[in-house]
Structures are given as structure tokens and as C-alpha cells.
A and B are shown apart, each in its own frame.
Chain A
Amino acid sequence: MQWSSTEWQGCVVASPDGRVDEATAEAFAEHLASSVALAAASEGRKLVVDFAGLDYMSSRGLRALTLAKRQADAAGVTMTLARPNEVMKEILAISRYDKLFAVTDSLEGAL
């Protein structure tokens, strides 16, 4: 899976690309942890995980998000999920992760 992190309006925007499944979940979790650390050092102390490039995510990816949110909460970082595609919207709803995370349709909405 591809991953990039950028700073935007004082916040960290992390952009995974591809699919998060059994093969890629560990790398996804490591990238998330790094992005939380970056956000903790940023001015806005906010991490936006941009889902626009994600095809889909299995339970391993979802649980990695939970672990990252715990790290973020401990570091005083607000974590938001942005721009999920239709498949990811369904997965977030079925898993009820849309109740655990703020989910927005745009990057601007996540700030």
C-alpha cells in the first residue's frame, strides 16, 4: 500500500492508498502511528486520515484505526476520517465505526 503525509492548515493529512487487508494491515498501523506522532507535534494537533485513495478495509484495518485513535487521544490529537468511498462508507456503517469516529465527505469538513 502507498502512504503519504502532508501538513495542511496546521494539521496532518495522512493519505493511504489501495486496500487494507491481512497483508497490509501491519504497515497501515505503523503509518498511522507515525502520523499520530507527526500530528502531536503539529500546530493544530489534528490528524485527518484521507480515505479518498482507499478501496476497502477489513477488520484488521478498522482495529488498527482504533489503536491509532487511542494513541491520538493520549497525545491530545483529534482524529477524523475524511472522504470514504461508497464501499468504505458501507463498511464504516456495518461495523458501526461511524459511531466511533467523526467521518466527513471533504477534507475541509474535517478541519
Chain B
Amino acid sequence: MLVRFWGTRGSLPVAPNAAIIQEKVANALLAASGRSFADLDEARNFARDELDFATGSTFGGSTTCVEIEAGDPDAGDPFIVCDMGSGLRGFGLDAMRRCAGGHARVYHFFMSHLHWDHIMGFPFFVPAFDPNAHIIIHAGHADAETALRRQQEEISFPVAFDWLRAKIEFVTLKPGETYQIGAVQVELMEQHHSHSSFGYRFTDSGGKVTVFSTDSEHKMEKMDGEADVEHFFRAADLVVCDTMYSLADSVSMKEDWGHSSNIVAIDLCHGAKAQRLALFHHEPVYSDADIARMHAESIRYEELTREAVALEVLCAYDGLEVTL
């Protein structure tokens, strides 16, 4: 199983402006003081291997879109994609490239929910214009089709949903059921969020498990219910988890905004004996340095509260690939 992150930002796409890039370049030059590079490759190696991530790279600014590659795509196994945030545009272009190489033109989407930041990529999803593509949109919500059609009404977008050329289906899934879809078994769990959200647990034929749990608030008044969440996360190889806010923010100013914290995510993964956690759905006002700091603090909290096996804490960024 391979997990590719195409969009990791929460709520709103963001892009670095001139001042942010200038600051990165200035920091890189400072870090390279006294060094010389024979060619561009040597400079690239320096940027990749020696600069800290926030200086030499970026966590990115596209909203939620995560691809799960399972089974054998060369043998016809379909695409599996969680959510349609602005990161979907990049996935769509790459999928067209892979389809030109023989990949099946079948796309199974699994929707956490239908808020704007999780569907805004679909009008820019090039495979939707491919008459040979088959797109199946799975959701816990029965109103997924309404949400996608509505954002392509003329008042919002110039291309109507009915003009799309692919064969598009909508399937409503139920928590408590196990579905075999493509090369994975899929289960879902309802989560606390405005208009509800759903987490998904994907298991491939080799037993590898990825859980996708975004836009989920774990309420203080319902901590008993977290046993169910830990069961859903149980022994997962990777849990992709909403860690948008600090715990203090999530229980004070941003309570009922529908999101979780790095601290709660780590506790849930510890309780579930999961192998890896990917911090996800980053706060749009956070700079790369802010997210890197949150990542370092999360690793430290995991060390401080670890009781048994270590949990690997990753920080998702646009372009990250995790092989399980």
C-alpha cells in the first residue's frame, strides 16, 4: 500500500507570497555561507539534505486530497482517492499521465464530508472530462451529489456538472458495513463535525491498513466514545488525522469548529497501538516554520507519553509518499 498526499491544508488553499519565498532564500543563503556548489544538482542536494524542511521546502497549500494505491495498478486495480480538495487538480493531471501508460480509468472517491475545502477540486479534475473514465463517488452522506452539482451551477462555475463526459456514479455507504471496493476493504465511522463527517479504514489484501480521519472533533464531554475511535484506528499502519489546532485552542476559542489537535491524535493512536500517525489538515494561517514546530512538539509529546511501542509521527505535506 502506498499513500500519496496531494493536498494537506485545512479549510482554505494557501500559497507562499513573495516575502515568504524571499525569507526562505535568505535563510538558505545564510545556511550555505562559505559553501560553493559545482552545479545545480549539488545545490539541489544541499537544499534537500541539509536545509531544514521549513527553509528548503514547504508543507504546501492545497486542501485535502489523499490517494491510496493498493493492489496492482498494472493489473487493472482502480484509483482510490480520499476527498476532492484543491489537491485533486494535481492528482487528476498525474492520473491522466498514468492512464496514458495503461492504468485503468476507474476512480473510487471516498468523501469525508462535503464542505467546500473538500470538494473544490472537482471542477478542475481533468479525468471528469474523459469519456472513457468511470468515477464512483462513495460517501457516508446521501447528499454528496447535491453538493457536487451545486458547486457547478452557473452562479459558481462556468462548466455545468452535466457537461462532464465521464460516467459518474454516487454510492452512499453505511457505518458498520465492510465493503470490498477495488483492491481494498473499506469501513467507515461517523465523526463529530458540522453536517457530520466520516472516517475511512482501508485494508489491502496483505493486511496493511490506512485510516483517513479528517475534520473530526473529539468532544470533551464525550471522551467515553473515544474507545470506539481507538477501535476504528486499531493497529493501523498509518492514521491520517486532523490535527489542525493546539489542544488549548480546540477546547476554548475554537471549540465546536469541528477539528482536533496533535495531542488528542497521538493519544488515540497510542490507545489504538497504531504504527504511524500523519499530522494533517494544517491550519491555513500556520507558516512552514509553525507547522515544523508543531511536528517537533508532537514527536516530543509522543515520547513523553509513550507507554508501549513507539508511534512514528509524520507531518503530511503536499507531495509526501508513505509506503506501508
Q: B-contacting residues of A (Cβ < 8 Å)?
A: 21-22, 25, 56, 58-60, 62-63, 66-67, 87, 90-91, 94-97, 99-100
Contact = CB atoms under 8 A, between A and B. Distances in A.
Nearest to B249: A96
A56 B266 CA distance: 15
22 contacts: A21-B307, A25-B223, A58-B267, A59-B267, A60-B267, A62-B263, A63-B220, A63-B223, A66-B220, A66-B252, A67-B221, A87-B304, A91-B304, A94-B297, A94-B300, A94-B301, A95-B246, A95-B248, A95-B301, A99-B248, A100-B251, A100-B252
B263 A59 contact: yes
B248 A100 contact: yes
A20 B297 CA distance: 20
Q: Give the dominant DSSP class at A's interface.
A: helix
Interface in B193-250: 220-221, 223, 246-249
A96 B246 contact: yes
B23 to A, nearest CB: 25
Q: Which of B248, B249, B261: most chain A Cβ within 10 A?
A: B248
B22 interface: no
Contact of B247 (A21, A22, A62): A62
Contacts of A59: 247, 261, 263-264, 266-267
A63 B223 CA distance: 9
Contact of B223 (A60, A95, A99, A100): A60
B304 A95 contact: no
Nearest to B255: A66
Contacts, number: 57
A89 to B, nearest CB: 11
A87 B307 CA distance: 14
A4 B307 CA distance: 26
Query: What 5 A-B pairs have minimum CB-CB distances, sorted nearest first?
Result: A96-B248, A96-B246, A95-B247, A63-B220, A94-B297
A58 B247 contact: no
A94 B263 contact: yes
Nearest to B260: A59
B263 A95 contact: yes
